[in-house]
Amino acid sequence: MAHQLPELPYALDALEPHISRATLEFHHGKHHNAYVTNLNNLVAGSELEGKSLEETILAVAGDASKAGVFNNAAQVWNHSFYWQGLKAGGGGSPSGALAEKINADFGSFEAFVEQFKAAGATQFGSGWAWLVLEDGALKVTKTANADLPLAHGQTALLTMDVWEHAYYLDYQNRRPDYITTFLDKLVNWDFVAANLAAA
Ligand code: MN3
């Protein structure tokens, strides 16, 4: 079966005023959808047709001749994951086992926030900031363009899209304001906790 654009897990206006309906219409309906269409066109008739998204990413990661497949497959994965990490009334700090793990591995929640903000702010050009699990420890990372933790043996727990299309309609050039709002108002910590529990 061809790759599909997943439905957003909330209404297009659910994240307002922090992320507008217009941003989600373009970001999900145009950008994310284009990655799905491109990926299906690129794998049609090849040995990759019918493989899962993860299988496809791992099959072509590091293969320069398959960069188009990798970029589009990874962007499909990244966006589907990003949507789930957001929710109306989100943000603030986590609780339970996730909070304890963050305190243990970063020293404090505030230290995590500082690292995550810095990763998003210092990713030059397009890319992603991540909270990942690697060898049993939480880490903050950043990746350029479509690159993702799956290609580096890490388990993704949370991501923040810092491509301009993620925030430009709402924040213009003010990426730091988008990052602060992401953390204060939008993070779905239940999703992150479930990812940690399943890792
Ligand atoms: Mn995006």
- Indicate the domain borders of the chain: 21-84, 96-198
Instruction: Provide the pLDDT for residue 160.
Output: 98
Average pLDDT over residues 161-182: 97
Q: Provide φ and ψ at 147, rounded to 5°.
A: -60, 150
Instruction: Provide the pLDDT for residue 180.
Output: 98
Read off the pLDDT band of 1 (50, 70, 90): confident
pTM over 0.75: yes
Between the CA of 131 and the centroid of ligand 1 the distance, in Å, is 17
Between the CA of 110 and the centroid of ligand 1 the distance, in Å, is 26
Between the CA of 135 and the centroid of ligand 1 the distance, in Å, is 28
Average pLDDT over residues 71-79: 98
Read off the pLDDT band of 101 (50, 70, 90): very high
Between the CA of 64 and the centroid of ligand 1 the distance, in Å, is 22
Instruction: Provide the pLDDT for residue 93.
Output: 96
Between the CA of 146 and the centroid of ligand 1 the distance, in Å, is 9
Between the CA of 154 and the centroid of ligand 1 the distance, in Å, is 21
CATH code given to domain 96-198: 3.55.40.20
Between the CA of 53 and the centroid of ligand 1 the distance, in Å, is 17
Secondary-structure class of domain 21-84 per CATH:
mainly alpha
Average pLDDT over residues 143-155: 98
Percent of the residues in the chain that have a pLDDT greater than 70, as a whole number = 100
Predicted confidence (pLDDT) per residue in 37-67, tens digit: 999 999 999 999 999 999 999 999 999 999 9
Q: Considering only CA atoms, which of 143, 167, 151 is closest in space to residue 86?
A: 167
Beta-ladder partners of 132: 139, 156
Nearest-angstrom CA–CA distance, 125 and 76: 19
Between the CA of 165 and the centroid of ligand 1 the distance, in Å, is 6
Measured at the CA of 159, the angle between CA 156 and CA 161, to 5 degrees, comes to 145
Average pLDDT over residues 94-114: 98
Instruction: Provide the pLDDT for residue 72.
Output: 98
pLDDT at 118 > cutoff 90: yes
